[in-house]
Structure 1
């Protein structure tokens, strides 16, 4: 096997694997990996998983790999590197690759094909929050799907675990809860580090390799706090060797912008580049690609964005004092490849706010002033850490977050994932003659958005220039302080500034921001047929049986529950309110029978009743009678999966604030549904609806919690089954999609 993996690895990378990398391919990814910076941890994890998943251990290797970088990292270089490996191996059609970082963290395409092999690359804030059903920038209705898939049949790899902050104990706790609650298919985790902490390490053959013998000389700078930026600029200018790259790593985006601006003013003829994660998607990609370019005469100014996952190298590297793990990573980017035989210069300084918790790091650097150290020296050094205080994730917290209803507590997963000063929101800019968005203006797309520090955006609330769509009723309104939490999406008036294409997020700038909004764009794909309710139910069941047959670990009872839920999921579309919506476009020739889908463009998409949820009606139909019960199919589970298939009617169901006492999510007590017959032979008589079971104090929530807490289900299995019903629904709907071109009202 080792020889086989050797060829596999060489084809992907052009290099032979180290012994530890081959060992991972033979025995599987371990829980803990400690290898010096530049020692090939990413390749070891990704290619060993890939080899086992596709070649040597298919049945026991999870089909999804989640590769996690610390928050604030640019994930684009790692994503591009993996894409290159897949291309060299000829596996681009066999393995889906998705980027989930910055604005692209909202990409949900990975959820549609749970049976496919897939690699997800992102940062720990976006990925861990989704694994807790409180995904930053994830639609609340999609939370159960993300939760179900990320906690099942998945292997998590955490790169540079000591830079995860509160996310580190959360990641370990989540893995232990998967093991105790149980998952449908095995899900594991691997934590990687470039420091040894005096512990027995992997990668002994790496430490002996010539590449990691490259040296950098340590030198302290002592800038005057009253002219801090100017002194750093002077030091960089003096240390920069023409024909080489210098890198300056600042502890905050604001200081990085200040140093960048001062460098450009002091050295107008020199290439100065600013790279950080607070930029729109296209600018992030450009910055990530530029940072990987070798052999340039320039100064690269950055933040922690390049600490992990980047292959950038500079002869001279200046860093502000940072946690030991970050400093080791940055030192690994000084003469990274040994391209400067005489060695590089590692300059460091204490930031204006003092050493803080990094005094031990400063003591080590001071003790080695003037010395030439190798990556291996840094790897083996023992520098005490100051653990980040964090909220402990309890079993009760995960169980509570299984309820994703608006108003459910806890509302936010941030305390278990990132420190207060590291939380970010997504910002877009629009041009409004009236100073505010139009009522029907769509929300921002990923390409428009920029990740920005939450604290910066909070300061903008005073001028009432921050807009968002209300998460409940979808209307545009001014954002309030309580609205802003990690992952919130907001829109600013482009005239007020806040972004510069060459700088990225720049709250101090008043220059108008070029808006990337191109107006309301008609969908390119639409439903091209009137689809009967009966046909949609049958086709969804077909899709459910197909997807469950392709996935491991499901019991026959679970497969049948998913299939039956798919068969019944849209029964509630028989309601007059939904049928009127499908036919409400005022044209076309809709058939008289009950519909599930409307031929575009004849559906208005707007219900005559606010908040109307057809899946609530579906569940009420199933609850009102036992004639559809059959042996070996659990009616409680089927009913739950039917109610939950849009992610909105799950554990607790609350009326909206402006609904009267007789109405719940647009469904009124006393509403009558017509008889429904399914070609499978199932018949549901017309009936009068009573929402009492779903109201606070009703029987629904105890039923849902009983399923969640069952030993043979638990939160991870139950959400996974929900995901499969949702996927089957998406796929059956897609059968009738086609180009929207030529569809006229």
Structure 2
């Protein structure tokens, strides 16, 4: 196996693997990997898993690798390196690769192929929030799918465990709960660290040797607090060695911008690197940083993990020990400077970690190796360590998080955030740092008019303004957004789908916002720049007609049978489930859209059309004229057809699991059923006493015409759904996975009838009269 893995790794990377990496390929990933900086942890995290998944032990190796970096990391470089490895191995068509960081985290294509081997690369805020059913930048209705796939058939790898803050305890606790509550397929966790690993993890530990032997000399910069930025600029200018790269790591984004501006004012070629760029601009900055041989790179702690970048001289503000070690790993990282690099540190005006300062002071003038930094014992006295980190979510917390929050508590109207009784921010980062979690911001142009007006000629985006896409989004710290004047940021309301000014309660991690291009706030070479008044170039494409959609009228019975077929195919491609669960998934797939028989839904499918066929329909044909039809205003704007499905199955006495899975297939009807907006006395568009027609399926099942009763449903439904969630043979992780199988089967059945849409030829004439 060693020779085969060596060939595998050389093909991917061009280098022979270290012996410890080959051992991981032979024995599997441990619980803890301690490895000095520069010792190849990314290779160790990915290639042994990939080799075992595809070649050595596919049946015993989870099909998804979840590679998690600290939240402030620039995960894109690790993502790009892994993509190169897959390409060299000829595996791009066999192994999915997906990025869950920054603006890319809102993309969800990875959820559509649960049977496929895949690698997810993300930051711990984006990934752990999804594992807690409250995914930042994740659609509320898609949260159960993200949750299910992260807790099923997955190998988690956390890089630099000591930089995760409360995320360390959260990740550990989630693994314990998976072991306790059970999953549909085995899921495990490996932690990696460049300092002495965290205790209490149990399991197997692997210690990687220091194979680099690179050195960096430690020196101190004494800077006066009263003119700290100016003095730091002078010190960096003096320390820079011509013809080499200098990296300056500054903890405050605002201070990093000021130091960069000071260097530029002195005529020094300098780049600014932090996570708060649009994707294309960040790629350009990284390419310039990697290719530059005589420059100064001013960076935030984004360089600490996941970035293969080296320097001759590294200047860093005093930081906690784990951060300091990671920063040191960006100095003479590959031994390219035989005489060693210089690691210069300074204390920022707000002070810094005393234990780290003592160690650095004791080693001033000495050259140290990554192995010495890994072995060093640097302990902060308990009195100085601050409050203990949260222990991570307990069983009851995870069970409470299983339900979907109301629309107006997740980046929606912000009217009643208390409805979502369990928040997750404190399990992801230190409470003092939650303001550094990002929202996603795009800049758009619209005309200004009178106060309070919006739409064409108004002071805000019009109703037809499209949602921002990934290419134009910039992650921005919430604290800096909160300093903007009221009315500057706009978001789409989740209930009425109109754009409106964002309120303070809307500013949550991952929320998507629009700013006016004229107000500035962004520069391509500097990223988020709140002090800049320069108008921002708009990156958004003009809204256009969808190029792809449903090209045929699809009958209800046909769609139900096709969804059941897709469920059977999906189950056959995944690890075996117990027979009763497999049968429940297929039956739920066959019944999931029964509620589309409701008169209001059938009217919606036929609205304005001249050619609909008879019988009950499931899908409308999206012809060339579909987007030119007069807008349809449903008398039941909040109607959820899956709620009608739940009522039909519930009142018909069907199996509770089948009923739940059918109800949950869009993510709206799960543990609780709530009215939307001010629709009461309707409930999700259904009136107590509504009648549904008789439905007979080609497989023989018959659902007679029925009167729907909603008054007593919510309380009884919640009690039954909670009993399923807590059932010993199910539990939250298995139940969410079964939900996901029905949803994916539905997506695939719908996709059978999707195709390119014909171009629009002529406007549709208005009806006579």
TM-score, with normalisation over the residues of structure 1? 0.95
SS at match of 2:209: helix
Does the alignment pair 1:714 with 2:731?
Answer: yes
For residues 507-552 of structure 1, give each alpha carbon's deviation from its aligned partner in whole angstroms, at most 9, with x where no partner exists.
Answer: 1112211111222122121111111111111111111110011111
8 Å contact from structure 1 (residues 532, 593) kept in 2: yes
Residue 606 of structure 1: CA displacement? 5.7
| Alignment match of 1:422 (pick from 436, 439, 445) | 436
- 1:594 alignment partner in structure 2: 616
The 2-side partners of 1:381 and 1:389 are apart by 22
- The structural deviation recorded for 1:35 is 0.5
| Residue ranges of structure 2 left out of the alignment (5+ in a row) | 410-418, 448-457, 765-769
Match for residue 301 of structure 2 among 304, 307, 311:
304
2:414 paired residue number:
none
The equivalent residue for 1:98 is 98
CA drift of 1:246 comes to 0.6
Aligned to 1:108: 108
Q: Which residue does 1:363 correspond to in 2?
A: 358
Other structure's SS at 1:738 match: strand
Q: Which residue of 2 aligns with 1:632?
A: none
Q: Distance in 2 between matches of 1:389 and 1:60?
A: 37
Contact 2:400/2:422 (CA < 8 Å) preserved in 1?
Answer: no
| Residue of structure 1 equivalent to 2:686 | 667
Would you say the 8 A contact 1:570–1:614 is kept in 2? yes
Evaluate the alpha carbon distance shift between residue 84 and residue 132 of structure 1 in structure 2; reply closer, same or farther with a 3 A threshold. Answer: same
Contact 1:166-1:391 at 8 Å conserved across structures = yes
Q: Does the CA-based 8 Å contact 2:30-2:206 persist in structure 1?
A: no
| Contact 2:36–2:370 (CA under 8 A) maintained in structure 1 | yes
Matches within 5 A, 1:90-489: 90-196=90-196, 206-207=209-210, 209=211, 211=212, 213-267=213-267, 270-293=268-291, 296-355=293-352, 358-385=353-380, 386=385, 389-392=388-391, 393-406=393-406, 408-419=419-430, 420-433=434-447, 434-460=458-484, 462-489=485-512
After superposition, the Cα gap between the structure-2 partners of 1:317 and 1:636, relative to the gap in structure 1 and judged at 3 Å, is same
Query: What secondary structure does 1:248 align onto?
Result: strand
1:653 maps to: 673
Q: CA deviation at 1:224?
A: 1.5
Residue 561 (structure 1) aligned with residue 584 (structure 2): yes
**Corresponding residue to 2:711 among 685, 688, 692:** 692
Which has the higher mean CA deviation after the structures are superposed, 684-693 or 246-255? 684-693
1:533 & 1:335 partners in 2: Cα distance?
A: 65
Correspondence for 1:641 among 655, 661, 682: 661
Cα contact 1:165–1:388 (8 A) shared by 2: no
Which whole-Å CA distance do the structure 1 matches of 2:57 and 2:576 have between them?
Answer: 16
Task: Please tell me whether residue 728 in structure 1 is matched to residue 745 in structure 2.
Answer: yes
User: Is the partner of 1:16 in helix, strand or coil?
Assistant: coil
C-alpha separation between the residues in 2 aligned to 1:251 and 1:149?
34
Q: Which residue of 2 aligns with 1:679?
A: 698
2:636 — aligned with what?
A: 609
Alpha-carbon deviation of 1:412?
A: 3.0
What is the CA–CA distance in structure 2 between the aligned matches of 1:442 and 1:692, rounded to whole Å? 37
- Count of residue correspondences: 725
Query: How far has the Cα of 1:440 moved from its partner?
Result: 2.8
Change over 3 Å in CA distance of 1:743–1:734 after alignment to 2 = farther
For 2:205 and 2:597, the matched residues in 1 are separated by: 61
Aligned equivalents of 1:132, 1:463: Cα separation in 2: 31
Question: Aligned ranges for residues 74-89 of structure 1 at < 5 Å?
Answer: 74-89=74-89
Contact 2:32–2:197 under 8 Å retained in 1: no
The 8 Å contact of residues 37 and 370 in structure 2, kept in 1 or not, is answered as yes
Note closer, same or farther for the CA distance 1:184–1:529 as it changes in structure 2 (3 Å cut).
same
- Is the 8 Å Cα contact of residues 435 and 493 (structure 1) preserved in structure 2? no
- Output the CA distance in 2 between the equivalents of 1:553 and 1:51: 23
Contact 1:424 1:451 in 2 (8 A): yes
SS at match of 2:673: coil
C-alpha distance in structure 1 between counterparts of 2:127 and 2:638, whole Å: 29
Deviations 1:453-508 (A, max 9, x none): 10111111x43111111233322222111111211211111211111111101111
In 1, the alpha carbon distance for the partners of 2:510 and 2:275 equals 14
Does the CA contact (< 8 Å) of 2:397 and 2:422 recur in 1? no
Q: In the alignment, is the contact (CA less than 8 A) between 2:33 and 2:208 conserved in 1? A: no
Between the aligned partners of 2:544 and 2:288, the Cα distance in structure 1 is 32
Q: Which sits farther off after the overlay, 711-720 or 362-371?
A: 362-371
**Are 1:540 and 2:543 matched, yes or no?**
no
Contact persistence 1:25–1:48 (CA under 8 A): yes
| 2: CA distance, partners of 1:517 / 1:221 | 45
Q: For the residues of structure 1 that align with 2:571 and 2:207, how far apart are their CA atoms?
A: 43
Q: Deviation of residue 96 (structure 1)?
A: 0.4
Change (3 A) 1:623 1:197: closer
Deviation at 1:615? 0.3
Which residue number in structure 2 is paired with residue 2 of structure 1? 2
1:588-619: CA deviation from partner (whole Å, max 9, x where unpaired): 41101111111114486763312110000011
Change (3 A) 1:299 1:720: same
SS, match of residue 399 in structure 2: helix
Change (3 A) 1:467 1:306: same
Structure 1 gaps, min length 5:
630-634
Per-residue deviation, 1:709 = 0.2
Alignment correspondent of 1:618: 645
Query: Aligned equivalents of 1:517 and 1:198: distance in 2?
Result: 45
Shift of 1:409: 3.1
Deviation at 1:694, TM superposition (A): 3.1
- Counterparts of 1:496 and 1:198 in 2: how far apart (Å)? 46
Please give the TM-score of this superposition, normalised by the length of structure 2.
0.92
CA distance in 2, matches of 1:47, 1:347: 35
Residues 15-60 of structure 1: CA deviation (Å, up to 9, x unaligned):
2222211111111111111000010111012001001100011101
Deviates more, 1:512-521 or 1:573-582: 512-521
Structure 1 residue 689: Cα displacement: 1.0
The structural deviation recorded for 1:741 is: 3.2
Q: CA deviation digits over 1:534-587, x for unaligned, max 9?
A: 111111111111001111141111111111111010011111111111111x23
The CA deviation at 1:387 is: 7.0
Separation (CA, whole Å) in 2 of partners of 1:214 and 1:159: 21
State whether residues 29 and 190 of structure 2, in contact with CA within 8 Å, keep that contact through their aligned partners in structure 1: yes
Q: Which moved more, 1:254-263 or 1:182-191?
A: 254-263
Q: Distance in 2 between matches of 1:303 and 1:239?
A: 19
Question: What's the CA shift string for 1:296-337, capped at 9, x where partnerless?
Answer: 211111111111111110000111111111111111111111
Q: 1:95 to 1:198 in 2, by over 3 A?
A: closer
Aligned pair in 2 of structure 1 residues 389, 512: CA closer, same or farther (>3 Å)?
Answer: farther
Alignment CA distance shift 1:69-1:505 (3 Å): same
Q: CA RMSD in A?
A: 1.8
Question: Is the Cα–Cα contact under 8 Å of residues 545 and 563 in structure 1 kept in the other structure?
Answer: yes
